[in-house]
Amino acid sequence: MEFHEPVMVREVLSVLRPGPLSRVVDGTLGTAGHALEFARLIGSQGILVGLDRDPAMLAIGARRLNEAKGKDGPRLHLVARPYEEICEVLQDAGMTEGVDAILLDLGVNSLQLENPERGFAFSKEGPLDGRFNTEAQATTMADLVNNASERELADWLRDYADERLARPIARRIAARRALAPLRTTTELAELVREAYPPAQRFGRIHPATRTFQALRIAVNDEMGSVERGLKACMSALAPGGVLASISFHSIEDRITKRIFQGATDAKPDPSNPYSATTTEGLEFELPFRRPIACTAEEAESNPRARSAKLRAIRRMEVTS
């Protein structure tokens, strides 16, 4: 099995600085690309907590970590739960004092995209599913495509994927489902292709790529997860602890920027719902103001890293 290549590993390690005795959380464990590096650095006296809302991805990451652990590896606590539930997970694990480092890698794993049965993409026919957790989530892409209003569909396509043909695509979906429900990824992909002018239907990037991105974000409430999860992770930091977040989508990055800046304002900003007043009296600082991008070398070797932006926030060690 070929595993997803983690992005910006060197930069993440430089920002989080995991070392012996560290308590580290990988909130988006996936196939454990970053977590393997954390485990190597924190050693047998450290604790590594891994979360993933997708049980299938967590199982792969857990297997890789356990295979690499050996006698010098850290204590592992791996749970199939979303990162916005980090405080409950740490409470259950008896880690009430907080943690030293948290990473959120907000991208989708390539193994999810490549499995047609998951319904995230359309290179091969599969069900219109797109859920990260098929047991905990009831609503599928098929439910959205066949039941959401035409306006809702257009809004998702425009807001989550910058789809310039959002309205024509939504209109075409509404007309098609009136005849029979859409069930498969290839059905939807061809329908979207037909909404494009003939000269634009067969380019390097399939015309349905943005539609599937928007529906995946909607069905998993990804932007809501980012909003809730960043705040939860900030409250889970011990004094001096650092939260790092890698965004691949402009909306994710804007949410992260707003929450981080709001929590570090000298004066609470009533117009920002994530200003310092919502962090229960904790104080934070930004290690750097502008997001860190990948190097040119990494962008060349790992195209997925090209859109990645790394931001971080540190809980201050306040002395009385």
Q: What is the pLDDT of residues 256-294, one digit of tens each?
A: 999 999 998 755 555 555 444 445 557 999 999 999 999
Task: Provide the CB-side half-sphere exposure for 66 (13 A, CA).
Answer: 8
Angstrom distance (rounded) from CA 75 to CA 217: 33
Q: Which pTM value belongs to this model?
A: 0.91
Q: What is the pLDDT of residue 278?
A: 43
What is the pLDDT averaged over residues 172-184? 97
- Residue 199's contacts (CB-CB under 8 Å, 6 or more residues apart) are none
Q: What is the pLDDT of residue 75?
A: 94
Q: Minimal CA–CA distance to 28: which of 63, 5, 54?
A: 54
Q: What is the pLDDT of residue 274?
A: 47
Produce one character per residue of 75-106: b if its CB has 16 or more CB atoms within 10 Å, e if not. eebbbbbbbbbbeebbeeeebeebbbbbbbbb
Q: What is the pLDDT of residue 265?
A: 76
Contact status, residue 248 vs residue 291, Cβ threshold 8 Å: no
Residue 106 has pLDDT above 50, yes or no: yes
Per-residue pLDDT tens over the stretch 184-197: 999 999 999 999 99
- The domains of the chain, with CATH numbers, are 9-107+222-315 (3.40.50.150), 132-219 (1.10.150.170)
Confidence of residue 1 (pLDDT cuts 50, 70, 90): low
Angstrom distance (rounded) from CA 250 to CA 319: 37
